[in-house]
Structure 1
Amino acid sequence: MSGMQGYGFWVFAAANAALFIAFAYSFARPLNARDWRSFGAFSAFIVALFAEMYGFPLTIYLLSGWLQTRWPGVNWFSHDAGHLPEMMLGLGVNPHFGPFHLLSTVFIIGGFWLVAAAWPVLFRAVRAGRLATTGPYAWLRHPQYAGFILIMTGFLFQWPTLVTLVMYPVLVAMYVRLARREEREAAERFGPEYAAWQARVPGWFPHLGGGASGAARPS
């Protein structure tokens, strides 16, 4: 374990987790208990991620025998080796500038943008007692949940761990269930207005080519 020079920085892990959670909170301020549950689950994912990224590399430790056998030339307890996709594919580039890291950056920035753009639209709609149908809600019915999923997907591309890989499908399923519950409540409250918006705007994937017109797609 003397080779774990890239880990053990628990203060740094806590600081990064707190920073990302606070950053997400500034964009997606929970409005009710349901929002707090979804935000709390996202926060748990972030804590688990940075605990392995800078604290203790549980995934690397558990897989170290297999990894060392398959890729004997890699110092698996160095920090860079935590970027598993780049290291396992032997791309020979700085993992911070590798294709998976760059793709993860696109997903993370896109996710934060989606959450940030959706929240004020939803907040104004809730205050006015009306349905949110403008901004990102003109493209997706669940932009905030989709944004959190994009962020988590990005972090998986960048730094996959056994814990976050297990948490990811559980959290996605949770967001889908929350979205369906909200849809039932909105349908009861807004009736034909909601039905028309639902038929026009997809739930999770925007229509290719832009716009929200056309036949409804599966959620």
Structure 2
Amino acid sequence: MPEPQAYGLWSLVILNSVLFIFFAFTFFKPRTGRDWRSFGAFSAFLVALFTEMYGFPLTLYFLSGWLQTRFPGVDWWSHDAGHLLETMFGWRANPHFGPFHILSFAFIGGGFWLISAAWPVLYRAQQEGALAASGPYRSIRHPQYVGFVLVMFGFLLQWPTVLTLGMFPVLVFMYWRLARSEERETEARFGPEYATYRRATPAFIPRLRSRAAPAPSRL
């Protein structure tokens, strides 16, 4: 029996891109210009990912000589071989059950959960004119940006490509810049209240034993 076509499946590129972008949209619900910039960058990452996953395997073409020499027994034009980490580390079974693939689900699921848990807290705070400091905001100051980074890192574990590997540090830096800009605006609005919260709460990585962040008066 001939092997099923692994690439050139542009309908799957479009379908997966639309589904995951819409899924992320339902979690994040962008409203401001800053929200749309962060969401747009994340969407571009997903489109680049699924283009290589089902459309055109640019990374495999780019690395084909080295891969074929280093791993001569692998059919690099099959879909399973696109799970590069499983293939390169010698995972012989179905790559969808490989360690990197399973770990990727933990990062992707955790990222989407963090985005989903943070959004209603931020929305309620914006409606009430208060500082968001409950829920995930008790542990880190920018849970939604951290969520996006976790999701992207999970996809990198699952299907690394030259393009997404190049985009990842650029997007992380962009989210860091957006977070700093957001902090300046929030500090200008809330003054000492935000300064106290900022001293007690890390920006991106929670402390193992963090001090409780001061709860705002109206949240």
| TM-score for both structures, normalised by structure 2 | 0.93
Residue 91 of structure 1 and its aligned partner are, at CA, apart by 2.1
Q: Which amino acid aligns with 2:59?
A: T
- Structure-2 residue corresponding to 1:103: 103
- Structure-2 residue corresponding to 1:217: none
- Structure-2 residue corresponding to 1:114: 114
Q: Is the 8 A contact 1:149 1:172 kept in 2?
A: yes
- Give the 3 Å change call, closer, same or farther, for CA 203–59 of structure 1 in structure 2: same
2:60 maps to 1:46: no
- Structure-2 residue corresponding to 1:173: 173
Deviations 1:72-103 (A, max 9, x none): 10000100000001101112221101110011
Residue 3 of structure 1 and its aligned partner are, at CA, apart by 8.1
2:122 maps to 1:91: no
Residue 13 of structure 1 and its aligned partner are, at CA, apart by 1.2
RMSD: 1.5
Q: Is the 8 A contact 2:38 2:175 kept in 1?
A: yes
Q: Is the 8 A contact 2:138 2:212 kept in 1?
A: no
Give me the whole-angstrom Cα distance separating, in 2, the residues matched to 1:91 and 1:21: 30
Give me the whole-angstrom Cα distance separating, in 2, the residues matched to 1:163 and 1:4: 25
Q: Which amino acid aligns with 1:158?
A: Q
Give me the whole-angstrom Cα distance separating, in 1, the residues matched to 2:60 and 2:5: 13
Q: Is the 8 A contact 1:24 1:112 kept in 2?
A: yes
- Runs of 4+ in structure 1 displaced over 3 angstroms? 211-214
Q: How many residues align?
A: 212
Q: Which amino acid aligns with 1:37?
A: R
| TM-score for both structures, normalised by structure 1 | 0.93
- Structure-1 residue corresponding to 2:217: none
Give me the whole-angstrom Cα distance separating, in 2, the residues matched to 1:212 and 1:91: 43
Give me the whole-angstrom Cα distance separating, in 1, the residues matched to 2:4 and 2:132: 50
Q: Which amino acid aligns with 1:120?
A: P
Residue 212 of structure 1 and its aligned partner are, at CA, apart by 4.0
Give me the whole-angstrom Cα distance separating, in 1, the residues matched to 2:119 and 2:11: 31
Aligned ranges for residues 154-193 of structure 1 at < 5 Å? 154-193=154-193
Residue 61 of structure 1 and its aligned partner are, at CA, apart by 1.1
Q: Is the 8 A contact 1:4 1:77 kept in 2?
A: no
- Structure-1 residue corresponding to 2:207: 207
